[in-house]
Amino acid sequence: MSLNKENQLRLLDLAKNSIQHGLKTGQPIKIDLSDYPQELTEPRATFVTLEINHQLRGCIGMLEAVRPLAEDIAENAYSAAFKDPRFPPLEANELDKLAIHLSILTPAEPVTFSSEQDLIAQLQPGIDGLILEEGHRRGTFLPSVWESLPEPEQFLRHLKQKAGLPLDYWSTNIRIYRYRAEIIA
């Protein structure tokens, strides 16, 4: 489901407004869903990625649809700016330099594979977002990560590392899920 340009811009404005509201109040913006068209109130999983000068400045999201789309964007934008544990909270002087990227995810579907090489052969660079699960470990890469890790083998190795596993780890217990993302920037 692709959003029309008007609704894409509305979500980008909402993300920026939630961050601005957070700078002033320390809270995400509260929205009235009745102010939004139906397609922005349906449950969707989203990630909000913040960059300054093409460098990651925060990224927070949900892999499952648990909130209405507009609400998820407002909450994740606030969290990406102020609650990403990898970065200090965003400061007001950074706002004008901030690039906001929204990823609206499709539901994740399991990938069936017989070996690591079979899995690598099935990956679609630039298209697939992946979730890797092994026991209690879990990691995900959005489709945009292909820009910095364009080779499927490299992409998978770094995803294992993100999930807390060794780069060369393999087990028949690894589960992989694939999703796509509509990117709004």
- What is the count of structural domains for the chain? 2
User: pLDDT of 76-94, one tens digit each?
Assistant: 999 999 999 999 999 999 9
* 18 and 75 belong to one structural domain: yes
Which pLDDT score is estimated for 2? 86
Mean pLDDT of the chain: 96
Of the three residues 105, 139, 170, the one that is the final residue of a domain is 105
Give a yes or no: residue 11 inside a domain: yes
* Residues 75, 83: Cα–Cα separation, whole Å: 11
On whether both 117 and 38 belong to a single domain, the answer is no
Please identify which residue in the block is written with the tokens 């910095």: 148
CATH number of the domain bearing residue 98: 3.30.700.20
Among candidates 132, 117, 124, 126, which has minimal Cα distance to 162? 132
Q: Which residues contact 71 (CB under 8 A, 6 or more apart)?
A: 31, 33
Identify the pLDDT of residue 37: 95
For the cut 70, the answer to whether the pLDDT of residue 1 exceeds it is no
What digits encode the pLDDT tens for the residues 101-159?
A: 999 999 999 999 999 999 999 999 999 999 999 999 999 999 999 999 999 999 999 99
Q: How far is residue 104's CA from residue 15's CA, in Å, rounded to a whole number? A: 13
Out of 87, 105, 123, pick the residue that ends a domain: 105
Q: CA 69, CA 88: separation in Å to the nearest integer?
A: 26
Whether 185 is in a domain gets the answer: no
Q: What pLDDT digit, counting tens, does each position of 48-65 carry?
A: 999 999 999 999 999 999
Which residue, of 66, 83, 105, is where some domain finishes? 105
At 173, list the tokens: 């217990």
Q: What is the pLDDT of residues 14-29, one digit of tens each?
A: 999 999 999 999 999 9
